[in-house]
Structure 1
Amino acid sequence: MAAHPITRTLLPTAAALLLLTGCTSGADEPTTPDTSVPAVDFSSELSHLHGLHVGKDGTVLAGTHTGIFAIDTSGSTSRVGGSDDDFMGLTGVPNTDNLFASGHPGPSSFAANPLGLRSSTDGGGSWMDRSLAGQVDFHALSTDGRILVGFDGTDGLLVSTDAGTTWTPGAKLVAAALAINDNGVWAVTPAGLEHSTTAARTFSPVPDAPQLVMIAGAGDALWGIDVDGYAWRSRGGQDWQKRAQVGTVDALTAANYDTAYAATSQALYTLN
């Protein structure tokens, strides 16, 4: 498989740029969570939360503007590893310590800018360069351990089947969020939720899906947050269950069909 040539064109539309803003939420107006949603407030505010991941031991990890942080059930947050890089597009194989991220080097880093794709096999304790250093900053990224799918704000998706070593072009669509589960690849686009069973080469609209701004997958589960801050879950993208209103959040991750997590820079919400 040949490495993907970086001859990509930035999307010109204002709508696309709005979708790709890394540090803003999908909702226009802030909403507050339902009081029934279990939540912990952080002891110290995180800096620009970019992504969440559930590790092998159940710890929720947060990718931020200044590194990776572990979130304790008490609300305390602690830095993982020594990196202070800006981790955009944090993703990983659910319920494992295998992570992938993109972004920009932090103040103490001598890495290329942008970082390209990096990987960790110890839950963010250490990182290694995989590919595309100095070329790509993935704001949307997802993996299930078999494929990686990323969107860097240009003219379509990139797909890797060898843990991010090489890449080929995927479908030409704008993805505000990506998820992979047992049923395929899912993308939140300006046209709504779309689904692929061809490893992100082609997509089809998902009829009657909620108007989602975030999405996450694990196993047979698919979780999403809609424009009004409500959580939804589904197994096949057909029968959607509306859950509690979590409000305006910055990131979402799924552990399984029974549990997902959403967060702002100040609090973590457990969805079930």
Structure 2
Amino acid sequence: MRKISKALLIGVTTMSLAACTETEEAVQTEEVAAEEENENEVTEEVEEAEAETEEVQESAEVAAEQVTPEESEIELTHIHGLGITEEEGALYVPSHHGLMVFKEGVWSAAEGETHDYMGFAMVDNGFYTSGHPGEGSELANPFGVSRSTDMGQTLEMLDLYKEIDFHVMDVGYDSHAIYVVNPQPNSRMDQAGIHYSIDDAETWTYSAAEGLEGQLMSIGVHPADEAVVAAGTDQGVFVSEDYGQSFEAISDVPTTAVTFSPEGTLFTGGVTNAFTLTAFDITTGEQTDFAIPELSGQNAIGYIAINPQNEQEIYFSTFEKDIYLSEDGGETWTQIADKGIGIDFR
């Protein structure tokens, strides 16, 4: 009995071991199969990823081939400012023959009459301007201070209509505080110089501009703070925090253009041994110099604009009617107008 039991034990153990061996082999076989299946899946995923990468690269190459710079039919006979719309992010350029628009890489003429816009200032709901009527217009000359809330299809005359044209003017993007450089006494201003209005030209106040030195080239109004205004002169950059009553110099570089970004950073175009683009934090005094394309001759920066929805998007125009665009905060630049001829990217 013990022998039989022992034999049975040995048999069971043997069968058990055999079964274990068969199970292990089965498990190992399944594991190998699973591993092979996983490897196949990974291989397929890698191949799919590589295929997708190739497709993206091919699409990018095709897109690069498709987006080819070409000369536009739009010609900028003069450039009297730059402004970017808040909703669409379209660049508006007031020219001698109406407003020109650069949107999604293509130039076009804006709707409305082809006025000679001067003192152009984009705001959150349209623009303010001065200037002269276009050919065939029923409007009188000059415009004084006017406003449009439909991007130039109509103009509302605010003050000094038929009396004066302001070449140097700016308006707070959000505050709508108007600052003008009056060239001579008129029916509303007793003397030449800087004047401002914070009630849409209902009343005007003279700015004494103490501390401001040199020939005034450009003014820029802070987007939100109606009391803050900057001036660029042949003696440097000056900032006022009391409505232009007094100014303090923040740079001695001769300056041809000043404008505030939507966040309140002051951008300036300067003239040293080269033409320069610089940003100032007027609160901390921090200064940032940008590397820009080489500008030769008398081709200084005339106007600057920053997208109100994306401060990485910066435009500047020059005295010789070149326009450049940066979409990465000034790291790289693309020319979108060459000597007044627009460049399309289709």
Normalised by the length of structure 2, the TM-score is 0.60
1:177 maps to which residue?
Answer: 218
Mean CA deviation greater in 168-177 or 141-150? 168-177
2:260 maps to which residue?
Answer: 217
Q: Give the 5 Å matches for 1:110-149.
A: 110-144=138-172, 145-146=174-175, 147-149=177-179
Q: Does 1:254 align with 2:285?
A: no
1:234 maps to which residue?
Answer: 280
- 8 A Cα contact 1:87 1:104, kept in partner: yes
Shift of 1:140: 1.4
* 1:267–1:220 distance in 2 versus 1, CA, 3 Å: closer
Q: Aligned partner of 2:216: which letter?
A: A
1:78 maps to which residue?
Answer: 108
Partners in 2 of 1:41 and 1:193 — Cα distance?
37
Partners in 2 of 1:221 and 1:197 — Cα distance?
14
Q: Give the 5 Å matches for 1:184-199.
A: 184-199=228-243
Partners in 1 of 2:182 and 2:201 — Cα distance?
14
Number of aligned residue pairs: give it: 229
Mean CA deviation greater in 234-243 or 252-261? 252-261
2:26 maps to which residue?
Answer: none
- 8 A Cα contact 1:116 1:133, kept in partner: yes
Q: Which ranges of structure 1 fall in alignment gaps of 5 or more residues?
A: 1-39
* 1:210–1:160 distance in 2 versus 1, CA, 3 Å: same
SS of the aligned residue for 1:83 comes to: coil
SS of the aligned residue for 1:70 comes to: strand
Partners in 2 of 1:41 and 1:149 — Cα distance?
38
CA-to-partner distance for each residue in 1:200-258, whole Å, 9 max, x for gaps? 2322222x454321111122211111113221112217221110224334422223554
Shift of 1:166: 3.0
Q: Which has the higher contact order (CA 8 A, sep 6+)?
A: 1
Partners in 2 of 1:86 and 1:41 — Cα distance?
26
Shift of 1:41: 7.1
Q: Does 1:62 align with 2:86?
A: no
Q: Which ranges of structure 2 fall in alignment gaps of 5 or more residues?
A: 1-68, 185-191, 331-346
SS of the aligned residue for 2:78 comes to: coil
Partners in 1 of 2:149 and 2:245 — Cα distance?
27
Mean CA deviation greater in 146-155 or 246-255? 246-255
- 8 A Cα contact 2:178 2:197, kept in partner: yes
Partners in 2 of 1:41 and 1:190 — Cα distance?
37
* 1:138–1:104 distance in 2 versus 1, CA, 3 Å: same
Partners in 1 of 2:313 and 2:149 — Cα distance?
23
Normalised by the length of structure 1, the TM-score is 0.75
Partners in 2 of 1:186 and 1:42 — Cα distance?
36
Q: Does 1:107 align with 2:163?
A: no
* 1:77–1:92 distance in 2 versus 1, CA, 3 Å: same
Q: Aligned partner of 2:97: which letter?
A: T
CA-to-partner distance for each residue in 1:171-216, whole Å, 9 max, x for gaps? 356531111225721011243211111122322222x454321111
SS of the aligned residue for 1:115 comes to: coil
Structure number with larger C-alpha Rg: 2
Aligned Cα RMSD in Å? 2.3
Partners in 2 of 1:105 and 1:232 — Cα distance?
35
